[in-house]
A and B are shown apart, each in its own frame.
Chain A
Amino acid sequence: MHNKTIAELGAGLRAGEFSSVELTRHFLARIDSLDEGLNCYITVTPDVALQAAEAADQRISAGDAGPLTGIPIAQKDIFCTQGVKTSCGSRMLDSFISPYDATVVERLNAAGVVMLGKANMDEFAMGSSNETSFYGPVRNPWDRERVPGGSSGGSAALVAARLAVAATGTDTGGSIRQPAALCGITGLKPTYGRVSRYGMIAFASSLDQGGPMTRSAEDAALMLQVMAGFDPRDSTSAEEPLPDFSAGLNDSLQGLKIGLPKEFFDEGLDAGVAASVEAAIEEYRKLGAEVVEISLPNTHLAVPTYYVVAPAECSSNLSRFDGVRYGYRCEAPKDLEDLYKRSRGEGFGEEVKRRIMIGTYALSAGYYDAYYLKAQKTRHLISDDFKAAFEQVDVIMGPSTPTTAFGLGEKADDPVTMYLNDIYTIAANLAGLPGMSVPVEPVEGMPVGLQLIGNYFAEAKLLNVAHKLQQATDWHRLAPEGC
Protein backbone atom coordinates (compact mmCIF):
# COMPACT_ATOMS: atom_id res chain seq x y z
CA MET A 1 0.00 0.00 0.00
CA HIS A 2 2.86 2.35 0.87
CA ASN A 3 4.48 1.98 -2.54
CA LYS A 4 1.49 3.52 -4.27
CA THR A 5 1.31 7.15 -5.39
CA ILE A 6 -1.31 9.77 -4.54
CA ALA A 7 -2.99 9.11 -7.86
CA GLU A 8 -3.14 5.33 -7.24
CA LEU A 9 -4.21 5.57 -3.58
CA GLY A 10 -6.83 8.20 -4.37
CA ALA A 11 -8.40 5.86 -6.91
CA GLY A 12 -8.34 3.01 -4.35
CA LEU A 13 -9.97 5.17 -1.68
CA ARG A 14 -12.74 6.36 -3.98
CA ALA A 15 -13.36 2.81 -5.22
CA GLY A 16 -13.75 1.65 -1.59
CA GLU A 17 -10.80 -0.81 -1.75
CA PHE A 18 -9.57 0.51 1.61
CA SER A 19 -10.43 3.39 3.92
CA SER A 20 -8.38 6.43 4.81
CA VAL A 21 -8.35 5.24 8.43
CA GLU A 22 -6.77 1.94 7.31
CA LEU A 23 -4.26 3.79 5.14
CA THR A 24 -3.43 6.19 7.96
CA ARG A 25 -2.94 3.38 10.49
CA HIS A 26 -0.65 1.64 8.00
CA PHE A 27 1.59 4.70 7.69
CA LEU A 28 1.54 5.42 11.45
CA ALA A 29 2.72 1.84 12.05
CA ARG A 30 5.53 2.32 9.52
CA ILE A 31 6.60 5.53 11.24
CA ASP A 32 6.59 3.67 14.57
CA SER A 33 8.86 0.92 13.31
CA LEU A 34 11.13 2.80 10.88
CA ASP A 35 11.50 6.42 11.90
CA GLU A 36 13.66 5.86 14.95
CA GLY A 37 16.59 5.04 12.69
CA LEU A 38 15.89 7.87 10.24
CA ASN A 39 14.64 10.79 12.39
CA CYS A 40 12.44 12.20 9.61
CA TYR A 41 9.72 13.47 11.94
CA ILE A 42 10.04 16.07 14.70
CA THR A 43 6.43 15.53 15.78
CA VAL A 44 4.08 12.66 14.89
CA THR A 45 0.39 13.54 15.24
CA PRO A 46 -1.62 10.27 15.35
CA ASP A 47 -4.72 11.85 16.91
CA VAL A 48 -4.89 14.68 14.39
CA ALA A 49 -4.27 12.15 11.61
CA LEU A 50 -6.97 9.66 12.62
CA GLN A 51 -9.53 12.41 13.11
CA ALA A 52 -8.76 13.76 9.63
CA ALA A 53 -8.90 10.23 8.20
CA GLU A 54 -12.36 9.63 9.67
CA ALA A 55 -13.58 12.92 8.24
CA ALA A 56 -12.04 12.00 4.88
CA ASP A 57 -13.80 8.62 4.87
CA GLN A 58 -17.13 10.39 5.42
CA ARG A 59 -16.41 12.76 2.55
CA ILE A 60 -15.46 9.84 0.31
CA SER A 61 -18.65 7.92 1.09
CA ALA A 62 -20.68 11.11 0.56
CA GLY A 63 -19.12 11.42 -2.90
CA ASP A 64 -17.46 14.71 -1.95
CA ALA A 65 -13.82 13.62 -2.34
CA GLY A 66 -11.08 15.38 -4.27
CA PRO A 67 -7.78 13.86 -5.45
CA LEU A 68 -6.08 14.48 -2.07
CA THR A 69 -8.94 13.49 0.24
CA GLY A 70 -7.76 10.86 2.72
CA ILE A 71 -4.10 10.93 1.54
CA PRO A 72 -1.53 10.82 4.39
CA ILE A 73 1.17 13.48 4.07
CA ALA A 74 3.74 15.25 6.24
CA GLN A 75 4.13 19.00 6.68
CA LYS A 76 7.61 20.49 6.86
CA ASP A 77 7.95 21.93 10.36
CA ILE A 78 8.36 25.43 8.91
CA PHE A 79 4.60 25.61 8.17
CA CYS A 80 2.47 26.83 11.07
CA THR A 81 -0.12 24.26 12.17
CA GLN A 82 -2.74 25.44 14.61
CA GLY A 83 -2.58 23.59 17.94
CA VAL A 84 0.48 21.56 16.88
CA LYS A 85 4.10 22.34 17.75
CA THR A 86 5.82 24.26 14.96
CA SER A 87 9.55 24.28 15.76
CA CYS A 88 11.24 25.24 12.47
CA GLY A 89 13.97 22.83 13.61
CA SER A 90 15.06 25.28 16.31
CA ARG A 91 15.37 25.38 20.08
CA MET A 92 13.97 28.92 19.71
CA LEU A 93 10.55 27.47 18.82
CA ASP A 94 10.75 24.17 20.72
CA SER A 95 7.76 25.17 22.84
CA PHE A 96 5.85 27.07 20.13
CA ILE A 97 2.30 25.86 19.52
CA SER A 98 1.06 27.84 16.54
CA PRO A 99 -2.17 29.80 17.08
CA TYR A 100 -3.01 29.65 13.36
CA ASP A 101 -2.57 27.60 10.18
CA ALA A 102 -0.35 28.58 7.26
CA THR A 103 -2.32 29.10 4.04
CA VAL A 104 -0.68 25.98 2.57
CA VAL A 105 -1.82 23.94 5.58
CA GLU A 106 -5.31 25.44 5.48
CA ARG A 107 -5.69 24.63 1.77
CA LEU A 108 -4.38 21.07 2.09
CA ASN A 109 -6.62 20.44 5.11
CA ALA A 110 -9.62 21.79 3.22
CA ALA A 111 -8.79 19.33 0.42
CA GLY A 112 -9.00 16.53 3.01
CA VAL A 113 -5.36 15.47 3.43
CA VAL A 114 -4.35 13.56 6.54
CA MET A 115 -1.37 15.14 8.33
CA LEU A 116 0.75 12.40 9.90
CA GLY A 117 3.20 14.83 11.48
CA LYS A 118 5.79 17.56 11.10
CA ALA A 119 8.98 16.86 9.16
CA ASN A 120 12.51 17.47 10.43
CA MET A 121 14.52 20.20 8.71
CA ASP A 122 17.65 22.31 9.03
CA GLU A 123 17.19 25.02 11.67
CA PHE A 124 15.14 27.87 10.16
CA ALA A 125 15.76 26.17 6.76
CA MET A 126 19.44 27.16 6.87
CA GLY A 127 21.48 24.20 5.73
CA SER A 128 22.01 21.67 2.95
CA SER A 129 22.34 18.48 5.00
CA ASN A 130 19.68 18.57 7.73
CA GLU A 131 22.54 18.54 10.25
CA THR A 132 21.71 21.98 11.71
CA SER A 133 18.38 20.77 13.17
CA PHE A 134 18.00 21.13 16.95
CA TYR A 135 16.37 17.68 16.78
CA GLY A 136 19.40 15.95 15.27
CA PRO A 137 20.24 14.98 11.70
CA VAL A 138 17.98 12.99 9.40
CA ARG A 139 19.60 9.92 7.88
CA ASN A 140 19.39 9.16 4.18
CA PRO A 141 17.22 6.03 3.71
CA TRP A 142 19.50 4.88 0.85
CA ASP A 143 22.57 4.87 3.14
CA ARG A 144 22.15 5.80 6.77
CA GLU A 145 25.70 7.09 7.08
CA ARG A 146 24.91 9.82 4.56
CA VAL A 147 22.90 13.04 4.73
CA PRO A 148 19.47 13.39 3.05
CA GLY A 149 20.25 16.94 1.92
CA GLY A 150 18.50 20.00 3.23
CA SER A 151 16.87 22.01 4.34
CA SER A 152 13.74 19.89 3.58
CA GLY A 153 15.72 16.75 4.54
CA GLY A 154 13.01 15.19 6.70
CA SER A 155 10.38 15.69 3.97
CA ALA A 156 12.61 14.13 1.29
CA ALA A 157 13.74 11.19 3.42
CA LEU A 158 10.23 10.32 4.63
CA VAL A 159 8.81 10.34 1.11
CA ALA A 160 11.69 8.12 -0.08
CA ALA A 161 11.25 5.78 2.93
CA ARG A 162 7.48 5.59 2.36
CA LEU A 163 6.66 7.12 5.76
CA ALA A 164 4.03 9.30 4.04
CA VAL A 165 2.80 9.47 0.47
CA ALA A 166 4.01 13.05 -0.02
CA ALA A 167 5.26 16.05 1.92
CA THR A 168 5.51 19.80 1.72
CA GLY A 169 8.87 21.53 1.46
CA THR A 170 10.29 25.01 1.06
CA ASP A 171 13.11 26.19 -1.17
CA THR A 172 15.16 29.35 -0.62
CA GLY A 173 18.36 28.26 -2.39
CA GLY A 174 17.64 24.63 -3.29
CA SER A 175 15.98 23.26 -0.17
CA ILE A 176 13.35 21.27 -2.09
CA ARG A 177 15.39 20.26 -5.16
CA GLN A 178 18.68 19.31 -3.46
CA PRO A 179 17.19 16.89 -0.86
CA ALA A 180 14.78 15.54 -3.51
CA ALA A 181 17.83 14.73 -5.65
CA LEU A 182 19.82 13.16 -2.81
CA CYS A 183 16.85 11.01 -1.68
CA GLY A 184 15.59 10.00 -5.14
CA ILE A 185 12.20 11.73 -5.13
CA THR A 186 10.42 14.38 -7.20
CA GLY A 187 10.51 17.96 -5.86
CA LEU A 188 9.06 21.14 -7.32
CA LYS A 189 9.94 24.71 -6.38
CA PRO A 190 7.27 26.87 -8.01
CA THR A 191 7.70 30.39 -9.38
CA TYR A 192 8.28 32.95 -6.61
CA GLY A 193 4.83 34.10 -5.47
CA ARG A 194 2.94 31.06 -6.77
CA VAL A 195 2.46 29.44 -3.34
CA SER A 196 1.51 31.63 -0.38
CA ARG A 197 4.18 32.37 2.21
CA TYR A 198 1.58 33.21 4.88
CA GLY A 199 2.35 31.12 7.96
CA MET A 200 5.54 29.75 6.41
CA ILE A 201 8.23 30.90 8.85
CA ALA A 202 10.30 33.47 6.96
CA PHE A 203 13.98 32.96 6.16
CA ALA A 204 14.73 35.17 3.11
CA SER A 205 11.50 36.76 1.94
CA SER A 206 12.51 37.59 -1.65
CA LEU A 207 13.58 33.96 -2.24
CA ASP A 208 11.41 31.65 -0.09
CA GLN A 209 8.89 29.47 -1.89
CA GLY A 210 6.91 26.41 -0.79
CA GLY A 211 6.27 23.39 -2.98
CA PRO A 212 5.42 19.67 -3.14
CA MET A 213 7.78 16.73 -2.55
CA THR A 214 6.38 13.52 -4.01
CA ARG A 215 7.26 10.25 -5.71
CA SER A 216 6.07 11.33 -9.16
CA ALA A 217 5.43 14.41 -11.27
CA GLU A 218 1.78 13.36 -11.52
CA ASP A 219 1.53 13.57 -7.70
CA ALA A 220 3.38 16.90 -7.64
CA ALA A 221 0.73 18.30 -10.01
CA LEU A 222 -2.07 17.16 -7.68
CA MET A 223 -0.38 18.69 -4.63
CA LEU A 224 0.51 21.95 -6.36
CA GLN A 225 -3.07 22.35 -7.57
CA VAL A 226 -4.17 22.67 -3.95
CA MET A 227 -1.14 24.50 -2.53
CA ALA A 228 -0.90 27.24 -5.18
CA GLY A 229 -2.98 30.32 -5.85
CA PHE A 230 -3.34 33.96 -4.93
CA ASP A 231 -3.51 34.77 -1.22
CA PRO A 232 -4.28 38.31 -0.05
CA ARG A 233 -2.52 37.53 3.25
CA ASP A 234 0.87 37.27 1.48
CA SER A 235 1.92 40.69 0.16
CA THR A 236 4.07 39.13 -2.60
CA SER A 237 1.54 36.49 -3.67
CA ALA A 238 1.21 36.47 -7.47
CA GLU A 239 -2.15 37.37 -8.99
CA GLU A 240 -1.79 34.86 -11.81
CA PRO A 241 -4.45 32.54 -13.18
CA LEU A 242 -4.09 29.00 -11.88
CA PRO A 243 -3.99 26.44 -14.71
CA ASP A 244 -5.01 22.80 -14.37
CA PHE A 245 -1.54 21.38 -13.62
CA SER A 246 -2.59 17.82 -14.55
CA ALA A 247 -4.29 18.61 -17.86
CA GLY A 248 -1.15 18.73 -20.00
CA LEU A 249 0.91 16.01 -18.29
CA ASN A 250 0.80 13.74 -21.33
CA ASP A 251 1.40 16.41 -23.98
CA SER A 252 3.93 15.39 -26.60
CA LEU A 253 7.49 16.67 -26.24
CA GLN A 254 8.03 16.60 -30.01
CA GLY A 255 9.94 19.76 -30.88
CA LEU A 256 10.56 20.77 -27.25
CA LYS A 257 13.74 22.83 -27.03
CA ILE A 258 15.96 21.90 -24.11
CA GLY A 259 18.90 24.13 -23.18
CA LEU A 260 21.93 22.71 -21.39
CA PRO A 261 23.93 25.53 -19.77
CA LYS A 262 27.60 24.74 -20.28
CA GLU A 263 28.32 26.31 -16.86
CA PHE A 264 26.32 23.47 -15.21
CA PHE A 265 28.67 20.83 -16.65
CA ASP A 266 31.98 22.23 -15.45
CA GLU A 267 34.86 20.58 -13.61
CA GLY A 268 32.98 20.66 -10.28
CA LEU A 269 30.47 18.06 -11.51
CA ASP A 270 30.99 14.41 -10.50
CA ALA A 271 31.52 12.21 -13.59
CA GLY A 272 28.92 9.65 -12.49
CA VAL A 273 26.27 12.32 -11.93
CA ALA A 274 27.12 13.83 -15.32
CA ALA A 275 26.67 10.43 -17.02
CA SER A 276 23.24 9.92 -15.36
CA VAL A 277 22.10 13.37 -16.43
CA GLU A 278 23.32 12.67 -19.99
CA ALA A 279 21.37 9.38 -20.00
CA ALA A 280 18.19 11.25 -19.06
CA ILE A 281 18.81 13.88 -21.75
CA GLU A 282 19.15 11.00 -24.22
CA GLU A 283 15.65 9.82 -23.20
CA TYR A 284 14.37 13.30 -24.04
CA ARG A 285 15.99 13.10 -27.47
CA LYS A 286 14.07 9.84 -28.00
CA LEU A 287 10.88 11.64 -26.96
CA GLY A 288 11.43 14.12 -29.78
CA ALA A 289 13.11 16.99 -27.96
CA GLU A 290 15.84 19.08 -29.49
CA VAL A 291 18.84 19.68 -27.24
CA VAL A 292 21.04 22.76 -27.58
CA GLU A 293 23.94 24.10 -25.57
CA ILE A 294 23.32 27.49 -23.99
CA SER A 295 25.28 29.76 -21.70
CA LEU A 296 24.32 31.40 -18.40
CA PRO A 297 27.54 33.42 -18.13
CA ASN A 298 26.93 34.83 -14.65
CA THR A 299 26.32 31.43 -12.99
CA HIS A 300 29.53 31.81 -10.95
CA LEU A 301 27.98 34.86 -9.24
CA ALA A 302 24.97 32.94 -7.90
CA VAL A 303 26.47 31.52 -4.70
CA PRO A 304 28.29 34.78 -3.73
CA THR A 305 25.15 36.83 -4.43
CA TYR A 306 22.96 34.46 -2.48
CA TYR A 307 25.23 34.61 0.58
CA VAL A 308 24.61 38.33 0.81
CA VAL A 309 20.89 38.48 -0.06
CA ALA A 310 19.76 35.48 2.03
CA PRO A 311 21.68 36.35 5.26
CA ALA A 312 20.70 40.02 4.97
CA GLU A 313 17.02 39.13 4.75
CA CYS A 314 17.39 36.45 7.43
CA SER A 315 19.01 38.87 9.89
CA SER A 316 16.04 41.17 9.44
CA ASN A 317 13.37 38.42 9.58
CA LEU A 318 14.85 36.68 12.62
CA SER A 319 15.02 39.91 14.62
CA ARG A 320 11.43 39.10 15.64
CA PHE A 321 12.72 36.38 17.99
CA ASP A 322 13.37 38.43 21.11
CA GLY A 323 12.17 36.26 24.00
CA VAL A 324 9.17 38.51 24.64
CA ARG A 325 6.09 37.47 22.66
CA TYR A 326 6.74 33.81 21.83
CA GLY A 327 9.54 31.30 21.64
CA TYR A 328 12.56 30.70 23.85
CA ARG A 329 13.35 33.04 26.73
CA CYS A 330 16.54 32.85 28.81
CA GLU A 331 16.46 32.31 32.59
CA ALA A 332 16.65 35.33 34.93
CA PRO A 333 17.59 38.15 32.53
CA LYS A 334 19.24 41.02 34.39
CA ASP A 335 17.97 43.72 32.01
CA LEU A 336 16.21 44.06 28.66
CA GLU A 337 19.39 43.85 26.60
CA ASP A 338 20.46 40.73 28.47
CA LEU A 339 17.02 39.24 27.77
CA TYR A 340 17.40 39.83 24.02
CA LYS A 341 21.01 38.74 23.82
CA ARG A 342 20.84 35.56 25.85
CA SER A 343 17.43 34.47 24.53
CA ARG A 344 18.79 34.76 20.99
CA GLY A 345 22.25 33.41 21.84
CA GLU A 346 20.81 30.34 23.59
CA GLY A 347 17.83 29.85 21.27
CA PHE A 348 19.67 29.89 17.92
CA GLY A 349 22.17 27.27 16.73
CA GLU A 350 25.58 27.83 15.12
CA GLU A 351 24.61 28.12 11.46
CA VAL A 352 21.71 30.47 12.17
CA LYS A 353 24.05 32.66 14.22
CA ARG A 354 26.60 32.73 11.41
CA ARG A 355 23.98 33.86 8.92
CA ILE A 356 22.48 36.47 11.22
CA MET A 357 25.97 37.88 11.74
CA ILE A 358 26.84 37.92 8.02
CA GLY A 359 23.54 39.66 7.29
CA THR A 360 23.94 42.14 10.13
CA TYR A 361 27.44 42.98 8.90
CA ALA A 362 26.34 43.36 5.26
CA LEU A 363 23.53 45.72 6.25
CA SER A 364 25.52 47.75 8.78
CA ALA A 365 26.38 51.40 8.22
CA GLY A 366 29.08 51.90 5.60
CA TYR A 367 28.81 48.40 4.09
CA TYR A 368 25.38 48.48 2.43
CA ASP A 369 26.61 49.55 -1.02
CA ALA A 370 29.49 47.08 -1.08
CA TYR A 371 27.33 44.11 -0.16
CA TYR A 372 23.53 44.32 -0.39
CA LEU A 373 23.33 46.85 -3.23
CA LYS A 374 26.10 45.07 -5.14
CA ALA A 375 24.30 41.73 -4.67
CA GLN A 376 21.01 43.16 -5.95
CA LYS A 377 22.87 44.22 -9.09
CA THR A 378 24.57 40.87 -9.67
CA ARG A 379 21.17 39.29 -9.01
CA HIS A 380 19.85 41.30 -11.94
CA LEU A 381 22.65 40.00 -14.19
CA ILE A 382 21.82 36.40 -13.20
CA SER A 383 18.14 37.00 -13.89
CA ASP A 384 18.92 38.56 -17.30
CA ASP A 385 20.93 35.44 -18.28
CA PHE A 386 17.76 33.37 -17.88
CA LYS A 387 15.65 35.89 -19.76
CA ALA A 388 18.00 35.62 -22.74
CA ALA A 389 18.09 31.81 -22.48
CA PHE A 390 14.30 31.48 -22.51
CA GLU A 391 14.20 33.37 -25.80
CA GLN A 392 15.97 30.34 -27.31
CA VAL A 393 14.69 27.34 -25.34
CA ASP A 394 11.56 26.04 -23.53
CA VAL A 395 13.23 24.29 -20.60
CA ILE A 396 16.72 24.40 -19.09
CA MET A 397 18.19 21.14 -17.78
CA GLY A 398 21.23 20.12 -15.80
CA PRO A 399 22.21 18.33 -12.62
CA SER A 400 20.42 19.26 -9.36
CA THR A 401 23.59 18.74 -7.32
CA PRO A 402 27.30 18.33 -8.10
CA THR A 403 27.55 14.93 -6.32
CA THR A 404 25.36 12.25 -4.72
CA ALA A 405 24.69 12.42 -0.96
CA PHE A 406 27.80 13.03 1.13
CA GLY A 407 28.63 11.52 4.53
CA LEU A 408 27.14 12.71 7.82
CA GLY A 409 29.61 15.12 9.41
CA GLU A 410 31.73 15.34 6.25
CA LYS A 411 31.05 19.02 5.54
CA ALA A 412 29.47 20.14 8.80
CA ASP A 413 32.53 22.08 9.99
CA ASP A 414 33.15 24.01 6.80
CA PRO A 415 30.33 26.40 5.89
CA VAL A 416 31.78 27.47 2.54
CA THR A 417 32.16 23.88 1.27
CA MET A 418 28.61 23.19 2.44
CA TYR A 419 27.30 26.26 0.59
CA LEU A 420 28.75 25.04 -2.71
CA ASN A 421 26.29 22.12 -2.67
CA ASP A 422 23.62 24.49 -3.90
CA ILE A 423 25.70 25.80 -6.78
CA TYR A 424 23.20 24.63 -9.45
CA THR A 425 19.97 25.39 -7.60
CA ILE A 426 20.49 28.90 -6.21
CA ALA A 427 20.24 30.79 -9.50
CA ALA A 428 16.58 29.82 -10.01
CA ASN A 429 15.71 31.31 -6.60
CA LEU A 430 17.55 34.54 -7.34
CA ALA A 431 15.67 34.87 -10.64
CA GLY A 432 12.37 33.68 -9.09
CA LEU A 433 11.96 30.89 -11.67
CA PRO A 434 10.28 27.51 -11.12
CA GLY A 435 12.58 24.48 -10.84
CA MET A 436 12.19 20.74 -10.35
CA SER A 437 14.35 17.79 -9.47
CA VAL A 438 13.44 14.34 -10.79
CA PRO A 439 15.25 11.07 -10.07
CA VAL A 440 17.48 9.65 -12.82
CA GLU A 441 19.85 6.64 -12.93
CA PRO A 442 21.51 6.15 -9.50
CA VAL A 443 25.30 6.17 -9.13
CA GLU A 444 26.73 3.37 -6.96
CA GLY A 445 23.32 2.83 -5.39
CA MET A 446 22.78 6.50 -4.52
CA PRO A 447 20.09 8.69 -6.12
CA VAL A 448 20.83 11.42 -8.67
CA GLY A 449 18.55 14.31 -9.59
CA LEU A 450 17.97 15.92 -12.97
CA GLN A 451 17.10 19.60 -12.58
CA LEU A 452 14.53 21.25 -14.82
CA ILE A 453 14.17 25.04 -14.82
CA GLY A 454 11.20 26.66 -16.56
CA ASN A 455 10.08 30.15 -17.43
CA TYR A 456 7.96 32.21 -15.02
CA PHE A 457 4.68 30.45 -14.11
CA ALA A 458 5.50 27.54 -16.44
CA GLU A 459 5.04 24.87 -13.74
CA ALA A 460 2.55 22.99 -15.94
CA LYS A 461 5.20 22.68 -18.67
CA LEU A 462 7.83 21.45 -16.16
CA LEU A 463 5.39 18.86 -14.80
CA ASN A 464 4.60 17.71 -18.34
CA VAL A 465 8.30 17.37 -19.19
CA ALA A 466 9.01 15.50 -15.92
CA HIS A 467 5.97 13.23 -16.32
CA LYS A 468 6.96 12.15 -19.83
CA LEU A 469 10.37 11.03 -18.55
CA GLN A 470 8.66 9.11 -15.76
CA GLN A 471 6.37 7.42 -18.32
CA ALA A 472 9.39 6.34 -20.36
CA THR A 473 11.64 5.22 -17.47
CA ASP A 474 11.36 3.63 -14.00
CA TRP A 475 13.98 5.61 -12.08
CA HIS A 476 11.34 7.35 -9.97
CA ARG A 477 9.93 3.98 -8.86
CA LEU A 478 13.17 2.78 -7.22
CA ALA A 479 12.91 2.41 -3.44
CA PRO A 480 15.63 2.22 -0.81
CA GLU A 481 16.27 -1.26 0.62
CA GLY A 482 14.23 -2.13 3.70
CA CYS A 483 11.58 0.50 2.99
Chain B
Amino acid sequence: MSLDRSDIEKIAHLARMAVDEDRIEGYATDLSNILGLVAQMDDVETDDVTPMAHPLHMAQRLRVDEVTEVNRREDFQAIAPKVESDLYLVPKVIE
Protein backbone atom coordinates (compact mmCIF):
# COMPACT_ATOMS: atom_id res chain seq x y z
CA MET B 1 0.00 0.00 0.00
CA SER B 2 1.58 3.25 -1.09
CA LEU B 3 0.30 6.63 0.08
CA ASP B 4 0.79 9.88 -1.78
CA ARG B 5 0.62 13.55 -0.94
CA SER B 6 -3.14 13.84 -1.18
CA ASP B 7 -3.62 10.77 1.07
CA ILE B 8 -1.49 12.40 3.78
CA GLU B 9 -3.44 15.65 3.49
CA LYS B 10 -6.72 13.74 3.81
CA ILE B 11 -5.53 11.67 6.81
CA ALA B 12 -4.13 14.75 8.57
CA HIS B 13 -7.47 16.47 8.10
CA LEU B 14 -9.35 13.46 9.52
CA ALA B 15 -7.00 13.61 12.54
CA ARG B 16 -7.52 17.41 12.78
CA MET B 17 -3.76 17.82 12.84
CA ALA B 18 -1.71 20.34 10.88
CA VAL B 19 1.37 18.91 9.16
CA ASP B 20 4.21 21.01 7.75
CA GLU B 21 4.03 21.40 3.99
CA ASP B 22 7.67 20.37 3.56
CA ARG B 23 7.18 17.21 5.65
CA ILE B 24 4.28 15.77 3.63
CA GLU B 25 6.48 13.83 1.20
CA GLY B 26 8.45 12.44 4.15
CA TYR B 27 5.27 11.28 5.89
CA ALA B 28 4.07 9.69 2.65
CA THR B 29 7.29 7.63 2.48
CA ASP B 30 7.28 6.75 6.22
CA LEU B 31 3.62 5.76 6.32
CA SER B 32 3.94 3.71 3.12
CA ASN B 33 6.90 1.85 4.64
CA ILE B 34 4.95 1.20 7.86
CA LEU B 35 1.98 -0.09 5.87
CA GLY B 36 4.42 -2.33 3.97
CA LEU B 37 5.48 -3.83 7.31
CA VAL B 38 1.85 -4.18 8.40
CA ALA B 39 0.97 -5.98 5.13
CA GLN B 40 2.85 -9.05 6.43
CA MET B 41 -0.36 -9.80 8.34
CA ASP B 42 -1.89 -10.84 5.04
CA ASP B 43 0.44 -13.86 4.87
CA VAL B 44 -1.96 -15.79 7.10
CA GLU B 45 -5.51 -16.89 6.49
CA THR B 46 -7.80 -15.63 9.28
CA ASP B 47 -11.33 -16.19 7.94
CA ASP B 48 -12.26 -18.52 10.80
CA VAL B 49 -10.42 -16.67 13.58
CA THR B 50 -12.44 -14.64 16.07
CA PRO B 51 -11.10 -11.13 16.66
CA MET B 52 -9.43 -10.52 20.03
CA ALA B 53 -10.46 -7.19 21.50
CA HIS B 54 -9.17 -7.68 25.03
CA PRO B 55 -6.19 -9.69 26.26
CA LEU B 56 -8.10 -11.30 29.12
CA HIS B 57 -11.42 -11.72 27.28
CA MET B 58 -13.10 -9.88 30.13
CA ALA B 59 -16.64 -8.58 30.12
CA GLN B 60 -17.07 -4.90 30.87
CA ARG B 61 -17.47 -4.41 34.59
CA LEU B 62 -20.49 -2.43 35.78
CA ARG B 63 -20.77 -0.38 38.95
CA VAL B 64 -23.56 0.78 41.18
CA ASP B 65 -25.14 3.99 39.91
CA GLU B 66 -23.91 6.27 42.70
CA VAL B 67 -22.16 9.61 42.72
CA THR B 68 -18.54 8.93 43.66
CA GLU B 69 -16.68 11.97 42.35
CA VAL B 70 -16.67 15.40 43.92
CA ASN B 71 -16.99 18.54 41.81
CA ARG B 72 -13.52 19.96 41.15
CA ARG B 73 -14.47 22.47 38.50
CA GLU B 74 -12.07 25.14 39.74
CA ASP B 75 -9.09 22.78 39.77
CA PHE B 76 -9.80 21.66 36.24
CA GLN B 77 -10.42 25.14 34.89
CA ALA B 78 -7.20 26.36 36.47
CA ILE B 79 -5.17 24.26 34.02
CA ALA B 80 -7.14 25.23 30.90
CA PRO B 81 -5.42 27.45 28.33
CA LYS B 82 -8.32 29.92 28.18
CA VAL B 83 -11.38 30.29 30.42
CA GLU B 84 -13.81 33.10 31.18
CA SER B 85 -16.79 33.16 33.58
CA ASP B 86 -16.34 29.42 34.29
CA LEU B 87 -16.45 28.58 30.57
CA TYR B 88 -13.78 27.14 28.26
CA LEU B 89 -13.16 29.64 25.48
CA VAL B 90 -12.86 28.64 21.82
CA PRO B 91 -13.02 30.78 18.67
CA LYS B 92 -16.51 31.79 17.63
CA VAL B 93 -18.39 28.87 16.05
CA ILE B 94 -21.75 30.46 15.18
CA GLU B 95 -21.75 33.57 12.97
Which A residues form the contact surface with B (CB < 8 A)?
96-97, 99, 191-193, 206-207, 232, 235-236, 238-239, 298, 300-301, 303-305, 307-308, 315, 319, 322-329, 333-342, 344-346, 348, 350, 353-354, 356-358, 360-361, 364, 371, 373-381, 383, 415-416, 419, 430-432, 456
Contacts and interface: CB of A to CB of B under 8 A. Distances in A.
A97 B78 CA distance: 10
Given A99-B75, A415-B33, A301 B40 contact: yes
Contacts of A315: 15
Nearest to B14: A360
A187 to B, nearest CB: 19
B37 A304 contact: yes
Contacts of A239: 61
Nearest 6 CB-CB pairings of A with B: A432-B55, A345-B18, A376-B51, A329-B81, A377-B46, A380-B52
Contacts of A97: 79
Interface string B14-26: 1111111001000
A377 B18 CA distance: 33
A255 to B, nearest CB: 28
A304 B18 contact: no
B76 A325 contact: yes
Interface residues of B, number: 54
Q: By DSSP majority rule, is chain A's interface helix, strand, loop, or mixed?
A: helix
Interface of B: 3, 7-8, 11-12, 14-20, 23, 27, 30-31, 33-44, 46, 49-56, 58, 60-61, 63, 72, 75-76, 78-82, 88, 90-93
A352 B70 CA distance: 33
A333 B91 contact: yes
A416 B33 contact: yes
A323 B81 contact: yes
A338 B17 CA distance: 9
Contacts of B78: 99
A50 B86 CA distance: 36
A304 B31 contact: no
Contacts of A99: 72, 75-76, 78-79
A295 B61 CA distance: 35
A472 to B, nearest CB: 33
A235 B79 CA distance: 26
B24 to A, nearest CB: 11
Nearest to A360: B15
B17 A344 contact: yes
B71 to A, nearest CB: 12
B41 A375 contact: yes
B76 A378 contact: no
B91 A357 contact: no
Contact of A377 (B33, B49, B55, B82): B49
12 contacts: A235-B60, A236-B58, A324-B88, A326-B81, A335-B92, A336-B93, A337-B16, A357-B27, A377-B49, A377-B52, A378-B41, A419-B37
B34 to A, nearest CB: 6
Nearest to A192: B55
Given A354-B27, A373-B51, A307 B17 contact: no
A305 B55 CA distance: 14
Given A238-B56, A381-B46, A419-B34, 8 more contacts: A235-B61, A236-B54, A335-B93, A338-B91, A345-B17, A377-B46, A380-B51, A381-B44
B46 to A, nearest CB: 4
Contact of B91 (A232, A335, A354): A335
Contact of B52 (A337, A339, A340, A383): A383
Contacts of A361: 3, 7, 11, 31, 35
A335 B16 CA distance: 13
A342 B16 CA distance: 8
Given A324-B90, A371-B38, A377-B49, A345 B31 contact: no
Nearest to B80: A325
Nearest to A324: B88
A338 B16 CA distance: 9
A301 B54 contact: no
Nearest to A340: B16
A44 to B, nearest CB: 21
Contacts of B88: 324-325
A307 B81 contact: no
Contacts of A338: 91
Contact of A304 (B14, B38, B92): B38
A430 B66 CA distance: 34
A340 B93 CA distance: 13
A338 B13 CA distance: 11
A377 B79 CA distance: 41
A301 B46 CA distance: 12
B87 to A, nearest CB: 11
Contact of B41 (A304, A327, A419, A456): A304
Contacts of B12: 357
A371 B31 CA distance: 14
B60 to A, nearest CB: 7
B90 A357 contact: no
B56 to A, nearest CB: 6
B16 A344 contact: yes
